[in-house]
Amino acid sequence: MALILADIIAGPSAIAVSGGVDSMTLAVFAHRLLGRDSVVMMHAISPAVPPEASERVRHWAKSEGWDLQILDAGEFGDQNYLANPVNRCFFCKSNLYGSIAKFTDRQIFSGANTDDLGEYRPGLDAARAQNVRHPYLEIGMGKSDVRMLSQALGMGALAALPASPCLSSRVETSIAIDPDVLKAINAAERLAQDILRPKTVRCRVRHDRIVIELDEESLARIDTATTESITDAVAGLFLPVLSRRPIGFQPYRNGSAFVGARP
């Protein structure tokens, strides 16, 4: 697979790097194959991007010697995005790939893999409109294949990095995207992570409540005192930026903030 992957990305390339294992692995592979002069890494920063993801990108850029370009994709100036329709990701990716295309005329590559095809991914429609290519999809690589490639590249703990979509994905459809709410969401997830060390945690902002979603194992072992402690702390994080809502815990469900008809 690595040889076929190398054939696809041969030539001047621009890699959209989010900070997740998929795009980071593609970036490391492309840079080691092509060298600094032939590949540029594009990382967008915004209130929807967890700060730790940007820190991860900068760390690897420094250690690997990437040509890294940091940009503001401008989605927070797009009212279609801020309105948070069910296909919000289409507007996010349209802004991202459009901004990259303004910066460079190189072929743009993303880290989408075959596991993504089993989920609702309107961002893939935006990629198609911008002629973005997905090397993993082109050769049938799934998430497990990407993790194996990451291990082969010697990327250490990054190979096991849990999936973590943008912070806006935690906000239920039709609730307007607010940067201060996204900051509170990230803080709530980090709080739960520090206390519980769960495999998966998502803080969902819904119309009628705030929900901390946890993997089944972590949810089963949380006791009453810890529940109350986390609930009180999360309430304090959201109180300045959001009307008061009940706070509860539920099992993790992938994409549970997407509600309504999908185009």
In a domain, 262, yes or no: no
Alpha-carbon span 249 to 72, nearest angstrom: 34
Which residues on adjacent β-strands are paired with residue 44? Answer: 71
Note whether 44 and 117 are same-domain residues: yes
Note whether 185 and 226 are same-domain residues: yes
Note whether 191 and 114 are same-domain residues: no
Comparing C-alpha atoms, which of 52, 2, 24, 37 is closest to residue 109? Answer: 24
| Residue that finishes a domain, picked among 129, 160, 191 | 160
pLDDT band at 244 (very low <50, low <70, confident <90, very high): confident
Judged against a pLDDT cut of 60, whether residue 263 lies above it is answered with no
Domain of 57, CATH number, reads 3.40.50.620
Alpha-carbon span 180 to 192, nearest angstrom: 19
Note whether 182 and 152 are same-domain residues: no
Note whether 172 and 128 are same-domain residues: no
pLDDT band at 169 (very low <50, low <70, confident <90, very high): very high
Judged against a pLDDT cut of 80, whether residue 81 lies above it is answered with yes
Domain count, the chain: 2
Note whether 24 and 109 are same-domain residues: yes
Judged against a pLDDT cut of 60, whether residue 211 lies above it is answered with yes
The whole-chain average pLDDT of the chain stands at 94
Range of the domain at 99: 2-160
Note whether 92 and 185 are same-domain residues: no
Note whether 147 and 21 are same-domain residues: yes
Query: And the tokens for 172?
Result: 């239920």
Note whether 151 and 188 are same-domain residues: no
In a domain, 204, yes or no: yes
In a domain, 12, yes or no: yes
In a domain, 263, yes or no: no
| Residue that finishes a domain, picked among 103, 134, 160 | 160
Give the pLDDT mean for 218-232. 95
Note whether 72 and 107 are same-domain residues: yes
Predicted confidence (pLDDT) per residue in 2-44, tens digit: 778 888 988 899 999 999 999 999 999 999 999 999 999 999 9
In a domain, 259, yes or no: no
Predicted confidence (pLDDT) per residue in 126-166, tens digit: 999 999 999 999 999 999 999 999 999 999 999 999 888 89
The answer to whether residues 198 and 212 touch, using CB atoms and an 8 Å cutoff, is no
| pLDDT value for 6 | 84
Note whether 192 and 115 are same-domain residues: no
| Residue that finishes a domain, picked among 160, 180, 207 | 160
Which residues have C-beta within 8 Å of that of residue 107, sequence separation ≥ 6? 11, 12, 13, 14, 133
In a domain, 115, yes or no: yes
